[in-house]
């Protein structure tokens, strides 16, 4: 399953994946629309999705802080954890893209 994927770049953890019910069906439809050509392309899509989800989570925390729904200390702790995880997602994406370029793969997704 991990054949061809980049390893050695880890994350913090704590982000749950695989929603149930309707959300899962929508994910299946989206997955069917964009099929990765190889394991590296799949990994890039997954890491980019993780990066964007983490960005959304940090935006929500910003809004919560501005609305005084969260104190500064827990806000900073959460932002630090999410930022660290986002860093690893971006680093993994960069390494996988470099590996793709070295293999001569330009896009990696079939529409």
Kindly report, residue by residue over 59-95, the tens digit of the pLDDT: 999 999 999 999 999 999 999 999 999 999 999 999 9
> If you write DSSP's letter for every residue of 7-39 in order, what string do you get?
-S------------HHHHHHHHHHHHHSEESSH
- CA dist 94 and 73 (Å) reads 32
The per-residue pLDDT for 37 is 79
Q: Are 64 and 75 contacting, i.e. CB atoms less than 8 angstroms apart?
A: yes
Q: Which residue is associated with the tokens 């001569």?
A: 104
Q: So what's the pLDDT on residue 29?
A: 80
Predicted TM-score (pTM) of the model is 0.69
Q: What pLDDT band is residue 6 in, cutting at 50, 70 and 90?
A: low
Burial of 86 (0-12, 13-18, 19+ CB in 10 A): buried
Copy the structure tokens of residue 9: 């770049």
């Amino acid at each position: 399953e991990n054949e061809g994927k980049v390893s050695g770049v880890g994350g913090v953890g704590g982000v749950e994946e695989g929603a149930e019910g309707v959300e899962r069906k929508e994910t299946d439809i989206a997955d069917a629309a964009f099929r990765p050509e190889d394991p590296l392309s799949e990994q890039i899509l997954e890491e980019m999705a993780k990066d964007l989800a983490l960005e959304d989570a940090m935006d929500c925390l910003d809004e919560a802080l501005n609305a005084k729904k969260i104190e500064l200390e827990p806000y900073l702790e959460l932002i630090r954890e999410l930022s660290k995880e986002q860093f690893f997602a971006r680093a993994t994406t960069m390494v996988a893209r470099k590996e793709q370029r070295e293999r001569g793969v330009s896009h990696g997704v079939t529409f």
